[in-house]
Structure 1
Amino acid sequence: MAIALSDVPLARQPGRRIPALPRVNPMVVNWIGFSLVIVVTLIVLAVPILAPYDPLTPVGMPLQSPGRNGFLLGTDSIGRDILSRVLYGARSSWFAALVVVAVGLFIGGLVGLIAGATGGWVDTVLMRVTDAFLSLPAPVLAIAVVAALGPGFAHTLIAVSIVWWPFYARLVRGEVARLAARPHVEAAKLAGVSPFRLAGRHLLPGAVPNAIVAASLDIGTLILTLAALSFLGLGQSAPAPELGADSARNLSYFLQQWWIPVMPGLGVLVLALVGNIAGDCLRNLMKSRGER
């Protein structure tokens, strides 16, 4: 039976080749992904310039749909510009996540460094305290702390920081303990190097890269955690623009004016996605650099 050339798969037809997809350097992709953090940070810094209106002041008719009368994301139930509120809410969420990461790295890194470098009973006591915090359900503990201190932006940051530092303490302690067994560290101890110099010059620099990678991977999770606390009413009080709170306060409009609760939720999605992508890219950059 004769077979037409057109019936033969493209890859098997003589004289024809499937064009190969262009190869992209993984390092370029990783740097682009990591640069998203810088871009988002610059955007949230420029929010007072980028936001078209005051997020607290009604500027138009209530419940206007996206794109109508110049309101790109529409207006809420009292006529405030949703785009402005989303931008200011994203600014609060992004900087809150960075603050929690910085506080967690400082406290957890300090505890882990002291425990791993000192060893003995100091290590045991510090790690048992860390284990006690890790054994508690983090979301419940954060909610309890905010409920005890009262709703507010600063109280939310304190609550989340309290439950976040033990992860970094465990990580840094493990890295420092591993580095402390290296021959060059043992040689430095025999040479009479002071404990502070030993920790600062030989132990801490080796633990910092992995801690930074872990912190970058946590940015997306922190944004979701802060948005969840805000959604439960444990963030800033109304009428402050907050992504989670704006979605929760306007859920009753979901079926008719869907954009009012959905747009702040999309803001949370974009921030969390950028944080996760940037964290993955930074991890790949560190991994590729370590393999060289």
Structure 2
Amino acid sequence: MSDGPLAIVAGAGSLPWEAAAAIAPRREVVVFAIDGEADAAPSAGPRIETHRLGYGQLGRARRLAMERRCRDVLMLGAIRSRPDFASLVPDMDTLRLLPRIVRAAVGGDDTIVRNVIALFEDEGFRVVSVAEAAPELLAPSGLLGAHRPSAAQQADIDLGAAYLTASAPFDVGQAVVVVEGRVIAVEGAEGTDAMLARCAELRRARRFRSEKGAGALVKRAKSGQDMRSDVPVVGLGTLRGALAAGLGGIAVESGRTILAERAALRTEADRARAFLVAL
């Protein structure tokens, strides 16, 4: 890690702001919030500088980062849609980068991640992982709440983990829902929350039958995944989606999954008698 401030490229969700607050006591932070993606910034604390910029101002973001002596970059938060390059009005600094930006946005999720990291590195920055910049955000191993999975739920967790290991080479999602030994849903491009909403609809339509509280959401990084971006994240929205789908809880991978809103997440899981574990 360099001695200068850390740049955070912020997408949607509370996570970029949680990370900024965690890192700021030990290192200055400059947040570049992507307009149309990043949530509104909470009250900025000391040692946190915020800039809200559109895709057409990426060149300006680069210039600001260089002026602030940022060399390390952390990418956090969801990107809900790919930029519409046809309607993009780039500034002069972005115009130089535009052909490479367009090329970087082509391919599957893993390919795009690699391309974007390469783009940053070619411009003289070092893209860092959460483990380097904010390890306290990652899930520790073991029981994360008050309730343990039952034997049947643990069997579903094991099946889900095995499925994700087998599917990793195909660049599909990071999550799967397993209920009573049956794979009910696999995360695709829609993301975990939408997959869980689909499971809730399947349950309402009686496409699968089980007692409420059966089954598990299993979420983990893909084998060989670049942990500098697209790290699996579980937060309150994930838990609420799992509960709405009638699942018994969530299993994640320790050390490679971010727990957002951790205190509130545990409180709500305990209140719902749902398990929350890290493998």
TM-score (norm 1): 0.25
Higher Rg: 1
TM-score, L = length of structure 2: 0.25
Instruction: Return the structure number with greater relative CO, CA threshold 8 A, min gap 6.
Output: 1
Q: Which has the higher helix share?
A: 1
